[in-house]
Amino acid sequence: MWHLVDAKCHFQIFHRLPTTIMIAIGDSLPAVTLGEYNAVEGTCAIGPNQIKVQEAAAGKTIVIFAVPGAFTPTCSAQHAPGFVALADEFKAAGVDEIWCLSVNDAFVMGAWGKDLGTAGKIRMIADGDAVFTKATGLELNMTGRGLGLRAARYSMLVKDGVIKELNLEVGGAFKVSNAETILAQVRGE
């Protein structure tokens, strides 16, 4: 079931691109490559790992939640911390991995993950070129506000690379993409 909330954004800056075809429940994840921060050796960053999405999702149950940007207010204060707090409950319910996705580079996502304490709980996935975001049609056009193309705020349940649940926020809301909602869906509640 696809969950959609209609809400107005306080700043009126979130707009879906009108010509985009959006991914739906029952669709497979796109065949794209994303990035993930790799640890630092001494004072030098090793660089981002490349993640082939379809390969990484094969045979796994994954919860993906996307945010418009790392270090942004709602994302940092509510959205991501909810998943950090419930990470053990997701694992107990059969989720193999939790991915946080944003149109940021892998270094920013790595720093944000360190700040949030996501190590061992959430994979901080960088969609630096917005390839996943564009392929799924789950983007926000925030051009004119200095933010460019961003990922919409959503959560999804993926089993063996196929989307089983999709909770998309509209207009900057934070009502259905939270950790509690998708955890209830994982549990079949």
Catalytically active residues are 75
Any idea what DSSP says for residue 48?
Answer: P
CA distance 189 to 184: 5
Residue reference for tokens 């691109």: 17
CA distance 101 to 123: 8
Contact 125, 109 (CB under 8 A): yes
CA distance 22 to 87: 28
CA distance 117 to 129: 25
Cα dist from 189 to 46, 93, 114, whole Å: 42, 12, 32
